């Protein structure tokens, strides 16, 4: 079961997008990632969470101001369909993302790329992150979004303990308190507590 949507929650999410993401595409990108992560937390697998996020956006009324940029939803659906229909080796897959999907800071490129990477490497999170990091373009954001979805679906156990230890040591990151805090906020919202 995906994160329950209510009119109040949708209104709160919309208000949080107004400052930086108040276009149709901006709201689509934030909702795609957030919904896929939420579905992962609820127990869906990576590919199921990606599909659920796309279906949710498709079923939701268009929000935000019109922009001349391509639809994030349609680009995401297209790249998922394309990469599921045809077998690409890693080099061809990377070329498709760079040349057709795009890997720039534009959200209508980076989010579809992140979804395609999460879909392709759903069972190999470390390889997904390495692939995203070496792709070119907005690699840190693409890897972060793909990693967030995969991590939410598979849990921290899916990542090699030595790699996590290195990440913590090199970057001085304490990710567990942040993750626990975000989950606590989510649980309070589920119980209707603000």
Annotated binding residues for Mg(2+): 138, 140-141
CB within 8 A of 100, min separation 6: which ones? Answer: 79
Measured over the CA atoms of residue 27, residue 30, residue 32 and residue 34, the dihedral's sign is negative
* Burial class of residue 33 (count of CB atoms within 10 Å of its CB; 0-12, 13-18, 19+): buried
Q: Which of 182, 121, 178 is nearest to 146 (CA)?
A: 121
Give binding residues as ranges.
Answer: 138, 140-141
Q: Cα separations (Å) of 152 from 10, 41, 61, 81, 172? A: 21, 5, 26, 22, 22
């Amino acid at each position: 079961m995906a994160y329950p949507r209510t009119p109040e929650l949708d209104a709160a999410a919309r208000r949080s997008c107004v400052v930086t993401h108040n276009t149709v595409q901006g709201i689509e990108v934030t909702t795609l990632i957030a919904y896929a992560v939420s579905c992962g937390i609820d127990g869906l697998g990576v590919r199921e969470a990606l599909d659920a996020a796309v279906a949710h956006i498709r079923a939701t009324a268009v929000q935000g101001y019109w922009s001349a940029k391509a639809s994030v939803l349609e680009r995401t659906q297209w790249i998922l369909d394309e990469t599921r229909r045809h077998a690409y080796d890693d080099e061809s897959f990377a070329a498709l993302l760079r040349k057709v999907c795009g890997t720039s800071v534009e959200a209508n490129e980076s989010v579809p790329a992140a979804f395609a990477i999460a879909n392709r490497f759903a069972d190999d999170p470390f390889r997904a992150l390495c692939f995203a990091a070496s792709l070119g373009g907005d690699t840190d954001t693409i890897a972060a979004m793909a990693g967030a979805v995969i991590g939410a679906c598979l849990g921290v156990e899916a990542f090699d303990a030595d790699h996590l230890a290195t990440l913590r040591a090199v970057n001085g990151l304490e990710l567990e308190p942040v993750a626990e805090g975000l989950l606590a906020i989510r649980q309070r919202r589920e119980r209707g507590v603000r």
